[in-house]
Every structure is written in structure tokens, then in C-alpha cells.
Chain A
Amino acid sequence: QSALTQPRSVSGSLGQSVTISCTGSSSDIGAYKYVFWYQQHPGKAPKLMIYDVNKRPSGVPDRFSAFKSGNTASLTISGLQAEDEANYYCCSYAGTYVFGSGTEVTVL
């Protein structure tokens, strides 16, 4: 199963918004509601930010939002903060799991 496609990097200034896309197929993202997003700082373990397309776990700020349309999922970070600078990975479950290629978010 091929990795989901994400932009290699996105950047934004403090307080601005950035959106990360995650493109799959009708067999994964397009098929089910099981799309997840993880944040990973260098040298750290991934942290769950979004599950089931658009749900935030307890403790994740509401400036993180997500949605899905067809075979593409998107994560938006509003009001960008310095601590949001990290790598972000999407993930889809459709019997097995496939991760995205990862997107580096830079806060200017």
C-alpha cells in the first residue's frame, strides 16, 4: 500500500493559518471515516492530534481542525504558535494502516 501524499513542507507566520493536505484513494481515505493526524517534534514520539477525520482528543487546542472531502483529508492550524513547528503525519485505516509521507511545518 503506497503512502498517502502530503506536501513536504508548509510555513506560516505566528498567528497565521496553515493547511496540510493528505491525498489517498477511494480504498483508504475515501472509504472510511478513520483518518488520523499526528504531530511529531524531532526526537519525540508522535502525538495524536485528530481522530476519526475531525475529532480532537482531550488536551489538543481547538486551533487544530480537520476535515475530509473525497479522497483528500486536510489539517488546518489556526493562530500558528511557535510550538506548532513540527512534522505532521496523516494516517488512514482501511483494514490496515497507511501513513502519509509527512509535512514539516515551519513557523516564521
Chain B
Amino acid sequence: EVQLVESGGGLVQPGGSLRLSCEASGFIFSRYWMHWVRQTPEKGLVWVARLNGDGVGTTYADSVKGRFTISRDNAKNIVYLQMNSLRADDTAVYYCAREGSGSYYTDYWGQGTLVNVSS
């Protein structure tokens, strides 16, 4: 059974940093692209970043480019999201998701971790 479990969320001050983790199980982790997607009541779902299986190919949303870094440790089956220079509008529930085979959709999602950027 595919499982994705996020952790690392919490309260952080504006300008601060936070690293989210997503531990994967139930599939051959290194073979799949992985994503981070965030959600707020106001903006709904917003895609954040995408990373290929060997950890080299990345794509970011313009709103996080230069501030966030997606990476992975295939030995530990974990994908990370390093978030720097955090702003109030980064406050959201952050989901990690697995990209399906053969196309660009995300077929499994974790339950999310809440990031609250506030002073």
C-alpha cells in the first residue's frame, strides 16, 4: 500500500526557515517523481515544486523560486522541502504527492502538514 507521511510543519516567524519531510512507503521510491502542493482556504490548491527520481530535475512555481528547495534521499525514501525567507502568504497545509507513471498526474497524496508563518 502506498503511503506518504508529511512532517515538519509548525509555527515560524516571517523571514524564518522550515524543512518539511515526506516519508514514502509501499512503492519503489527512486522510480517516481515527487511533488509538493499547498492549500489554503483562500487560494485552494497551489502546486509548489516537482523533483525527478534521481533528484536532479526540479521545477518550481514562480512564487517560491529562489526561496524553496525540493530534494530527496532515496536511501531513506524521503522527499524534503526546504523553505527559506518565509512570508505570511506561505501559510498553508503542505502536501507531498507522488507522480503517476506515464503522465504528469499525481496519484497518491499524503495527509498534509500545516505551516503557519506569523509573528
Chain A residues within 8 Å of B, Cβ to Cβ = 1, 3, 34, 36, 38, 44-48, 51-52, 57, 89, 91, 93, 95-102
Q: Assuming A46-B95, A48-B105, A48-B107, is B44 touching A96 (CB within 8 A)?
A: no
Q: Which residues of B contact A38 (CB under 8 A)?
A: 45
Provide the residues of chain B in CB contact with A36, threshold 8 Å. Answer: 105-106
Q: Is B11 an interface residue when CB atoms closer than 8 A count as contact?
A: no
- B15 an interface residue at 8 Å Cβ cutoff? no
Of residues 36 to 76 in B, which have CB atoms within 8 Å of A's CB atoms?
37, 43-47, 50, 59, 61-62
B9 at the interface (CB under 8 A from A): no
Given A45-B109, A57-B107, A93-B104, A3:B62 Cβ within 8 A: no
> A46 to B46, alpha carbons, bound, how many Å?
12
Known: A45-B95, A45-B112. A99 touches B44 (CB 8 A): yes
- What is the CA–CA distance of A89 and B109 in the complex, to the nearest angstrom? 14
The answer to whether B105 and A52 touch across the interface, beta carbons within 8 angstroms, is yes
B45 touches A99 (CB 8 A): yes
Q: Bound complex: CA of A91 vs CA of B97, how far in Å? A: 14
Most chain-B Cβ atoms within 10 A of its Cβ — which of A45, A98, A99?
A45
Main secondary structure of the interface of B (DSSP, over half): strand
| Alpha-carbon separation in the docked complex, A101 to B110 (Å) | 21
Residue from the set B50, B62, B105 with the largest chain A CB neighbour count within 10 Å: B105
Chain A residues whose C-beta falls within 8 Å of the C-beta of B62 in the assembled complex:
1
Chain B interface size, as a band, is 20 to 34
Complex CA–CA separation, A83 to B113 (angstroms): 25
Once the chains bind, are A46 and B103 in contact (CB under 8 Å)?
Answer: no
CA distance A102 to B107 in the complex (A): 18
* B19–chain A nearest beta-carbon distance, Å: 21
Q: How far is the CA of A3 from the CA of B111 in the complex (A)?
A: 23
A45 engages B111 (CB within 8 Å): yes
**Residue in A48, A52, A95, A101 whose beta carbon sits within 8 Å of that of B106 in the complex:** A48
A91 to B104 Cα, complex, angstroms: 10
B100 engages A46 (CB within 8 Å): no
Which residues of the partner chain A approach B106 to less than 8 Å between Cβ atoms?
36, 48
